Structure formats: structure tokens, C-alpha cells
Amino acid sequence: MVCTDTFSKFGRRIASTQGCPYIVIAETPNPIQDLAPDALRMRAEAMITTVIDGLTLPPAEIERRLADTVRQQIRPQGIVRSGTPV
Amino acid sequence: MTHAYVELELGSIEEFPARAYEHAYDQGWTDGLPIIPATGENVQQFVAASGRAADELIGLVPPRKGRATVEVIAVNAVMAGCRPEYMPVIIAALEGLMDPRFPLEHMQITTNPMAPFLLINGPVRHALEINSGTGCLGPGWRANATIGRAIRLILYNAGGALPGVYSKSAFGSPLRYSYLCGENEEANPWTPFHVGRGFTRAQSAVTVFRATNFCNISGSQGIGADEILRHIASHMLPMFSLGDGALLLLGVNHAQALHAAGLSKRDIQQKLWQFARLPTSYYAQTFVAMERAAGRGDAEMVWRTRSPDEIYIAVAGGPGPQDVYMAAGMPQTRLIKTA
């Protein structure tokens, strides 16, 4: 998954509802809407390693690396509403 | 089926309502307003009023795919302040909301503050005192206020659309508390909305729309049918991401005037479709390109909808020179099966 940092936890949460909690997410700082093509390219290049990891690492290794992240992001402990996205 | 019960320690019975509310709020079970505590007894009453088994599954509510069984629906309906006899309406609305063609998952998670709007037709309006006349969009009527609220609580508690957690709605919306009314069929000079969707007058039905706004159109500007409709259309602007439907709740005055002028509902749809357009120069060019690609525009104009069919007409409210326009589309209509 490729998304901005504002949406990455949310992206993992929604991916988990589709059975993919351990999805590899390449993230870049939000927002990107107004970036010029050159700046956008730099952002994309900075994410390439993560994209390659997501496409080539064995699933067991991805799960090992993401275990803590997944635990923290999908069911934020004790939070039932938040004025800033969690 | 597993059940969870909560025990609260109270100094006196007077503490119970406030403590129950505090607990529900802490757990994220409410929309922020007080709730009626769900007990084994009142939940059973609501299940019985549905005429269905407690464990009957009505659907899986996105995004967390929570099981909306009749019992889960009953718990939320109790908390919302419903009467047991509202259950068939809530269940029918949920069946519409969970139709695969209805974009419920998107509505639950998007930054746009979309909300379901429920239009209710048929004898059930009188049986349950669902207001379709003066003040029908609230506040003041229990059925109008609590049926929509029950839907919201189910979207929270079964669907998990908690604000800032699963729901990314940047602003939220007051329409998310409860957004429904009956159609004022008695003041509708044409056929009721649900009849146009294949039901009979004697049947009761609920239509769910994906809605995002509320726009009251005030004033009796315009003499003659075309001028009335031009005035209405001037409030129906093309808008980002919600081009696929417009719902007009015609007020009693304009419904009667347009009918007296010889217009059918189809004529009204056709005229509004032609009037609700603005020059492309009014908009950002990316928006113009997007709308044109979606079939909502030509070289000079951006159109509110792709065709007259996407303009939905119903009659509601009381006397007065007022109408209501909503960006609301993708309707799903379901029969209300009373127990």
C-alpha cells in the first residue's frame, strides 16, 4: 500500500478488515496534492525500498517485522473516539 | 450466542441513569447523547416485536464486518430510545444500507461527512407516528429522532465506525445523529415515492439514500412552474464526489402549484436537470474535466446530474414556501415487514 502518513494507520486498519493486517505500507508525509512533479518523484523514490520489500520479502519475515506495529495500530488500546486521527 | 453483561455499583437507584450513560460513553457505545440501558428484558421485548429470531443475521456491517443480528439491532434500538414497534423499520433500512450496491463501507470511513437519509412511505408512518408534515426533519418526534439514531449506533457498534478511529470524517455532520422523515403522501398530488419504485400504496417501505447535506430552499420566488423550478435549481449546484444523485423534498405549496400547472414528476425531473447547470468557467478545470468524464457536462456547462433519472422527487413538510434539497443518491428501497 502507498499512502501518506496521515492515512497509514487507518490504511492498515481497513486492510485488516479485508484480512491483510500485515500489509507493507510505503508512506510519505501528508499532503502531496499540491506537489510539483519533481517533488513528487523525490517522494516516490524515497519509498521504493519499502515497495520492493513488500513485493519480495517472505510473508513470515514481514509478519515478524510488523508484529508490534500491527498490534498497536489496528486496535488502539482504550481509544473509542479521538479528535485527532489515531 | 455469547452475551456480556455489565454490573454497576450504585449508592442509590437515582444514580443509575447517569452511571449507565457514563459507562456507555466511556465504552464508545453512544453518539454522545444519553442512552437507555439495554437489559435482558427490554432487548427481548424488541426482538419479539421484530417477529424474527434473536440470532437471525441481517448483515455484516462494514468496515469491521460486525454481525448485525436481530438481537444486536435490538440492543442499539433500546439504547437509542426507540419503541419496540420501530424494529421492522430499522431492519428494513439496514437491509437497504447493506445492499452490495449501496456504498456503506465508503460512507463509514471517508473524510466526507456522508450520512444515510431515510425516506419512509406507507401506512407505517401513521402507525408509528413518523412525522412527514410540519417539522418532519426534526426535532420533536420520537420515531424520527430515534430510528435514525438507532441506525447510527449500529453503524458505530456493529460497524466500528468510531470517529477518528475507523471513521475519517474530517468534520462529521449533525445529519449523522438522525436524518429521516416520512413522505407527506397526503399532500402529494402525484404517486408516493415508493409506488414509483414498485411498491403499492398499502405497503410500507423505507428508502435509504447516500446523503451529504441539507439545503433548505426558502422563498416563493418565481411565478409559474418554470420560475419556481429555476429558483429551486439555483440551489442544486454541481458538487465534488456526489454528482450521482439529487433528492428534492418538495414542500406542500410548490407541489400543489406545480401540479396545478400540469407538471408530472417526470416533467419536474426533466426541467431541473436542464436548469441545474453552471458554466464551466465557474469551476476549477480539474473538476470540470472530472464531471465531463462522468457524463455530467458538455463544452460549456457542468450539470448537476447525468440524467433526469438521478433527480429524485418526494413531497414532505408542512405548508409554507419552503423546499429541501439534498445531495443524495444511490437509493435502495425495502419493504417494511411488520410483525
Q: How many domains does chain B have?
A: 1
Band of the pLDDT at A84, cuts 50, 70, 90? confident
Task: Assess if residue B7 is contained within a domain.
Answer: no
CA–CA distance, B72 with B65 (Å, rounded to integer):
13
CA–CA distance, B300 with B66 (Å, rounded to integer):
47
Q: What element of type H or E holds B216?
A: strand B215-218
pLDDT of residue B2: 65
Q: Which residues contact B92 (CB under 8 A, 6 or more apart)?
A: B205, B206, B334, B335, B336, B337
Task: Assess if residue B308 is contained within a domain.
Answer: yes
Task: Assess if residue B96 is contained within a domain.
Answer: yes
Q: Does A83 touch chain B (CB under 8 A)?
A: yes
Contact assignment for B165 to A84 by CB distance below 8 Å: no
Q: Does B27 touch chain A (CB under 8 A)?
A: yes
pLDDT of residue B46: 98
**Chains A, B: CB pairs < 8 Å:** 35
A83 contacts on B by Cβ (under 8 Å): 164
Q: How far is CA B125 from CA A14, B120, B134, B184, B334, in A?
A: 38, 7, 14, 9, 15
Helix, strand or coil for residue B331? strand
User: Which chain B residue's Cα is nearest to A6?
Assistant: B168
Task: Assess if residue B141 is contained within a domain.
Answer: yes
Contact assignment for A81 to B164 by CB distance below 8 Å: yes
B287 contacts on A by Cβ (under 8 Å): none
Q: What element of type H or E holds B58?
A: strand B57-61
A86 contacts on B by Cβ (under 8 Å): 164-165
Q: What element of type H or E holds B291?
A: helix B285-293
Q: Which domain holds residue B181?
A: 13-335
pLDDT of residue B242: 74
Domain ranges of chain A: 2-74
User: Which chain A residue's Cα is nearest to B106?
Assistant: A14
In the block, cell 506495529 appears at: A69
Q: What is the pTM of this model?
A: 0.92
In the block, cell 440492543 appears at: B75
Task: Assess if residue B3 is contained within a domain.
Answer: no
Q: Does B23 touch chain A (CB under 8 A)?
A: no
Band of the pLDDT at A26, cuts 50, 70, 90? very high
CA–CA distance, B66 with B60 (Å, rounded to integer):
5
Q: Does B165 touch chain A (CB under 8 A)?
A: yes
Contact assignment for B64 to A81 by CB distance below 8 Å: no
A14 contacts on B by Cβ (under 8 Å): 63, 109, 166
Q: What is the DSSP string of B77-104?
A: HHHHT--GGGHHHHHHHHHHHTSTTS-H
The per-residue b/e assignment along B281-299, b for 16 or more CB within 10 angstroms, e otherwise, is eebeeebbebbbeeebbee
pLDDT digits (tens, 9 = 90+) for B279-316: 999 999 999 999 999 999 999 999 999 999 999 999 99
Low-confidence stretches of chain B (pLDDT < 50) are none
Task: Assess if residue B5 is contained within a domain.
Answer: no
Q: What element of type H or E holds B335?
A: strand B328-335
Nearest Cα of chain B lies from the Cα of A34 at a distance, in angstroms, of 13
- Window from A5-14, A33-42, B172-181 with minimum mean pLDDT: A5-14
